């Protein structure tokens, strides 16, 4: 019994040494190599959907300050990194109809473009992310502006969650 316990102890210690020794780093560590320091965010407003464009900038600002620990600045002259964000497109598609043939369940798809420039070495990179949201409406009704707005916001949040991982991948492409 004690020999088995000793073997289990050795296995656990060995696994811990390898896990700690492998230098695991979260994706935000690598994403910070791409966007760091003082960051200026510029919104390129989608004229078809200006209200949701502003939502995307706010969500990206939160992502930059909370996940990347960068400082937002209001003057591009003070920036180490300049970021441009744009709502590329939004689309709605019907996923399900009711028994009478009315649209019942919809899917919103949002595409967001992010371009960023490192001011010091004057390199510019861009990426595109997309997100989705599924929602339903009452039988025979149309999509209200409120429902449309909420669905685009949810799909945009879904898309922006992918920004960190895409930034991390961009940092690996340099090496």
CATH number at residue 97: 3.30.160.150
Helix locations, the chain, DSSP H: 2-21, 27-34, 50-66, 145-174
pLDDT computed for residue 140 by the predictor: 63
Q: Is the pLDDT of residue 107 over 70?
A: yes
Q: What is the pLDDT of residues 29-75, one digit of tens each?
A: 778 888 889 999 999 988 887 888 888 888 899 988 988 889 999 99
50 located within any domain? yes
- Residue 99: pLDDT above 90? no
| Domains identified in the chain, total number | 1
Residue 8 lies in a domain: no
Query: The domain containing residue 35 runs over which residues?
Result: 27-174
pTM value surpassing 0.85: no
In a domain, 22, yes or no: no
Q: What is the mean pLDDT of residues 90-96?
A: 91
Q: Is residue 14 part of a domain?
A: no
């Amino acid at each position: 019994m004690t020999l088995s316990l000793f073997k289990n102890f050795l296995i656990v210690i060995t696994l811990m040494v390898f896990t700690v020794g492998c230098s695991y780093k979260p994706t935000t560590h690598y994403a910070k190599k791409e966007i760091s320091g003082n960051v200026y965010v510029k919104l390129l407003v989608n004229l078809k959907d200006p209200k949701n464009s502003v939502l995307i900038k706010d969500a990206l600002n939160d992502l930059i300050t909370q996940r990347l620990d960068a400082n937002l600045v209001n003057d591009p002259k003070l920036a180490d990194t300049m970021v441009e964000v744009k709502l590329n497109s939004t689309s709605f598609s019907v996923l399900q109809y009711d028994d009478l043939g009315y649209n019942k369940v919809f899917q919103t798809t949002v595409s967001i473009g992010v371009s960023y420039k490192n001011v010091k070495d004057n390199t510019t990179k861009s990426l595109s992310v997309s997100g989705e949201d599924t929602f339903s409406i009452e039988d025979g009704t149309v999509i209200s502006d409120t429902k449309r707005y909420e669905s685009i916001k949810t799909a945009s949040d879904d898309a922006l969650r992918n920004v960190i991982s895409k930034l991390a991948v961009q940092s690996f492409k340099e090496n």
